[in-house]
Amino acid sequence: MNKSPLNAVIIGTGMIAHVHFRALKVAGVNVIGVVDANPEQAQRIAAKWQVEVFADLHVALNCAEVDVVHICTPNAFHYPMAKEAVAAGKHVVCEKTLAVTLEQAEELEQLANQHGVQTAVPFVYRYHPMVREAKARIENGELGKLHLVHGSYLQDWLLEQSDNNWRVDPKQGGQSRAFADIGSHWCDLIEWVTGERFVQLVANFHTAQKERSADAAETFTARTEEQKAAGKTTSVTTEDIATVMMMTDRNTPVSLTISQVSAGRKNRLWFEIDGSESSLEFDQEKPEQLWVSRRDSRSLIVRDPTQGSDEQRRLSITPAGHAQGYSHCFEAFMRDFYASLQGENPIGLPSFKDGVRAAKLIDTTLKSVHNKQWMNIE
């Protein structure tokens, strides 16, 4: 960024906080402080990042130097923290889910509009260059009328009974887990790429592990066999698996499978969009590629900053064959958000409005599971 750097504070010190920190540094943003409920953890991370420790969020918000607050905490804290930050006139980047209820998410969007602050929710899969290429090809009519959208988002980090995390606890993560956590990403991506909106859905939730270790381990970290065998178990009420069927406002059928217990799948967000003329297929674990298929041909398009759509070129920061991935998406998202604070208007930047949309889909899915029927998405 060419203009004066802005200052950020990060709330939380877990895995995603480190992702934010690295992306902020790449974007040229000054991270001036960190807040964490664990003082020792806060001191350790602050020393590593070479930033200040703020005693709590209130102290950070009273610091005139802070321009933007990054909320990287368990979901239950998003609403009160974002509300306080917005009221203090700070811009906010809040991890999803934006809140644990639809009503809270809607209130946050309204407050942000009232206070004139800018907001963002990291639906960063929008920032894969080949996702931008897919969107451009749909917009220019290459696929024709959409016939079908289908896909999945599969992980295995909660496969075993000994696996646990704060997300499993509805008091911290919300009533939905797998769909809210990763299904929200898939739904955001499909609506954004296709330009179509889901208007109806029917959902089913399944809990594969009815009990889990009562010792919540840090996400995505290895545990010894002794740690796996030790400790008590606790009942699980949130879903490991979600299957959802949807219809869009243009009468396109959609099917989605979500799982956090699929062995060997680390972070496989996959979709196929089938049109009357051609189809597109994207796999987040192979993000340099986009399959483009017609009845008489099937082509593999690879990311190349010298070819393709304007947005593919803009987001392709390395030469063809020099792989880009998830971290580059986060960096691009962060650059765009901070550019927006300096008067630019980047394409596809997700805001609290998109966080509310995700909350609405989560809320409708929960109602569908409870009522065992199709529900309208209002």
Tell me the C-alpha distance between 29 and 331, whole Å: 11
Within a domain: 199: yes
CA distance 191 to 6: 31
Edge-to-edge order in the sheet of strand 91-94: 52-53, 30-35, 7-11, 68-71, 91-94, 119-120
Q: Are 129 and 239 in the same domain?
A: yes
Domain boundary residue, one of 120, 153, 170: 120
Torsion angle (degrees, nearest 10) of CA 77, 67, 180, 37: -30
Half-sphere exposure of 242 (CA within 13 A, CB side): 31
Asked if the structure places residue 280 within a domain, the reply is yes
Q: How far is CA 334 from CA 41, 173, 195, 350, in A?
A: 25, 24, 23, 11
Query: 238 with 278, same domain?
Result: yes
Rounded to a whole number of angstroms, the CA Rg of the chain reads 21
Residues 219 and 110 in one domain: no
CB atoms within 10 A of CB 54: 23
Overall number of domains in the chain: 2
Residue 2 inside a domain? The answer is no
Q: Residue 99 is part of a domain; what is its CATH number?
A: 3.40.50.720
Low-confidence ranges of the chain (pLDDT < 70): 1-4, 216-231
Given this model, what pLDDT does residue 5 score? 82
CATH number reported for the structural domain that contains residue 215 in this entry: 3.30.360.10
Within a domain: residue 240?
A: yes
Give 186's contacts (C-beta < 8 A, 6+ positions apart).
151, 152, 153, 256, 258, 269, 271
For residue 195, the enclosing domain spans 125-376
Residue 182: CB partners within 8 Å, gap ≥ 6?
153, 155, 258, 260, 269
- Whole-angstrom Cα distance, residue 360 to residue 373? 17
Separation between Cα atoms, residue 52 and residue 276, nearest integer Å: 56
| Residue 259 belongs to a domain | yes
Half-sphere exposure of 178 (CA within 13 A, CB side): 34
Sheet order of strands, 146-154 included:
297-302, 289-294, 279-283, 268-275, 146-154, 253-259, 241-248, 198-206, 375-376
Same domain, 80 and 187: no
Same domain? For 110 and 212 the reply is no
The answer to whether residue 275 is domain-embedded is: yes
CB contact at 8 A, 204 and 255:
no
Of 120, 142, 176, the one marking the end of a domain is 120
CB 93 within 8 Å of CB 115: no
CA distance 20 to 14: 10
Shared domain check, 232 and 147: yes
Same domain, residue pair 133 and 230: yes
Residue 1's pLDDT is: 44
Verify that 141 and 271 share a domain, yes or no.
yes
Pair 197, 343 in one domain: yes
- Strands 233-235 and 91-94 turn out to be unpaired
Domain-embedded: residue 1: no
- Residue 207 and residue 114 share a domain: no
pLDDT at residue 173 in the model: 96
Domain check: are 158 and 262 in the same one?
yes
pLDDT digits (tens, 9 = 90+) for 313-365: 999 999 999 999 999 999 999 999 999 999 999 999 999 999 999 999 999 99
Shared domain for 38 and 12, answered yes or no, is yes
Is position 274 within any domain? yes
Last residue of a domain, one of 99, 120, 141: 120
